[in-house]
Structure 1
Amino acid sequence: MTKVAIIQARMSSERLPGKVLKEVNEKPLLLHQLERVARSKHVEKIVVATSTNPADDEIEKFAKKGNISLFRGSEGDVLSRFEGAAQETGATTVIRLTADCPLSDPEVIDHVITKYLEQPNACKFATNAIPRSYPAGLEVECFSREALEIASLEAKEDYDREHVTPFFYRNPHRFFPLSVVSTINYSKERWTLDEQSDFYLIKKIMEALSQIKVDFKMVDVLNILDANPDWRKLNSAVQETPRLVTDNIFKGADSG
């Protein structure tokens, strides 16, 4: 079993163009995330999946400079991009991450993977994204290569193909999804990168914690935010993009 983390990344964000290569401590945020994901005990390979849009040539240059595995595919059909990246890397288990989550926590990633591996073979998909209980920005989705290929073959809706995993959520009777829920609800925390105000918060967190420890975790972020409560106000006005797949999709599904 080859467990591959695929990080989808693009430069053409409408709200914050070029966000994945914005720098903190003279290092691109995407590199910060790659280094954090590499500390996972389960993940065996990491690949950045970007598009063939010329705007994403900058991501290819970044990857070549750092000897980072890269796959380029369709800009709009991200599902097919993931399938191509999984095929190229020989993945049997895919861990889906997005490059707007530079604070990805390897312990959270490993927890989701562990829960996925503990389930019967019928389970082809595990997520901590729905229902939301972890901070926004620590989402992890883990699924089988088989499930990815089924979705790529059968998903027809543009939304399903753009966002990769909605087809799994819509068909729980086929993929037996597992929802991994935090024992404490942190869903009001926002550590994802969509707008400039998000960047201000993430920059403060990274600059402060990097002086204390390189491998800071979710608990360290929570502690420093509790010590500096005004920081949370920096991005409190940001509106989350509405989701077509909602929490009630997991009624009757397992949780762990």
Structure 2
Amino acid sequence: MKVLAILQAGMNETDCPGLTINKVGGRPLLAYLIERVRRSKRIDQLIVSTSTKETDDPIVQLCQQVHVETFRGSEKDVLGRFYETGRKYNGDVIVRLSATGPLIDPAIVDQAIGMFLQCYPNCLYASNTLHRTYPKGMDIEVFTYEVLKDAYMNASSSLDFEQVTPFIVKRVGESAIGEIVQNHNLSHHDWSLDHLEDFTFMKEVFEQLHPRNGAFSMTDVLSFIENG
């Protein structure tokens, strides 16, 4: 089964537009994120999904520079964008990631994919966001292309098309959902990139941790927060 990671990115996806391509050490945050996702051992292909709006051209240009393919579609119909991406690149298993999570830990991504594959076909959707025990910004969703296709074909409201996975969860049903949780609850941490102060935090983390270890983990970030 081909595991296709779709990284959702847009200049207007944060409260402060353009934060995802703000630079740290001369590199955009999105470039760091792409580097981190590429460290996954279970992802077969990574595609960055963005809109056809001219304002998102910088994202496409960045992806060209780091040799990652992009798929462009409607800004509002994110569900359709994901469906068309999955269809074009023949993904069997879709991993949904967001550019608002530059600190995503590739080891945790691999754990999520591994758990999903282990319980498939009994599990058709798995996520660490339903019962949150991971920091916000460490969000991972894994589901089959067929489930994505079903959601796209049956969605009706603008909210269904814009938010993607709530409708998938509704269609799949509780018995086919896998909750990815850990024993140590870290849900009080917010590592998502939404505001300017979030970028300041990301900048500090990458400046301190990346030069020593480009594959720094969630645990490394926790240690940095606790010990400086």
Counterpart in the other structure of 1:243: none
Deviations 1:177-208 (A, max 9, x none): 10010111000111110000111111111111
What residue identity is the alignment partner of 1:100?
A: T
Counterpart in the other structure of 2:116: 116
Q: Structure 2: 5+ residue runs without aligned partners?
A: none
Counterpart in the other structure of 1:51: 51
Relative contact order (alpha carbons < 8 A, sep ≥ 6): 1 or 2 greater?
A: 2
State how far apart, in whole Å, the 2-side matches of 1:109 and 1:186 are: 16
How far does residue 172 in structure 1 lie from its aligned partner after superposition?
A: 4.4
C-alpha contact 1:125 1:175 (8 A) present in aligned 2: no
Q: Which moved more, 1:137-146 or 1:115-124?
A: 115-124
C-alpha contact 1:147 1:175 (8 A) present in aligned 2: no
Counterpart in the other structure of 2:186: 186
Deviations 1:207-251 (A, max 9, x none): 1112321110000000110103xxxxxxxxxxxxxxxxxxxxxxx
How far does residue 14 in structure 1 lie from its aligned partner after superposition?
A: 5.7
Number of residues of Structure 1 aligned to a counterpart in Structure 2:
228
Counterpart in the other structure of 2:77: 77
C-alpha contact 2:125 2:142 (8 A) present in aligned 1: yes
Counterpart in the other structure of 2:140: 140
What residue identity is the alignment partner of 1:122?
A: N
What residue identity is the alignment partner of 1:145?
A: Y
Counterpart in the other structure of 2:90: 90
Counterpart in the other structure of 1:209: 209
State how far apart, in whole Å, the 1-side matches of 2:173 and 2:93 are: 20
Deviations 1:71-125 (A, max 9, x none): 0011001000001111121111000001011111101101111110111413210
C-alpha contact 1:168 1:175 (8 A) present in aligned 2: no
Q: Structure 2 length normalisation: TM-score?
A: 0.96
How large is the RMSD of aligned CA atoms in angstroms?
A: 1.3
Counterpart in the other structure of 1:221: 221
SS at structure 2 position matched to 1:171: helix
Q: 1:142 to 1:175 in 2, by over 3 A?
A: farther
What residue identity is the alignment partner of 1:45?
A: Q
What residue identity is the alignment partner of 1:66?
A: V
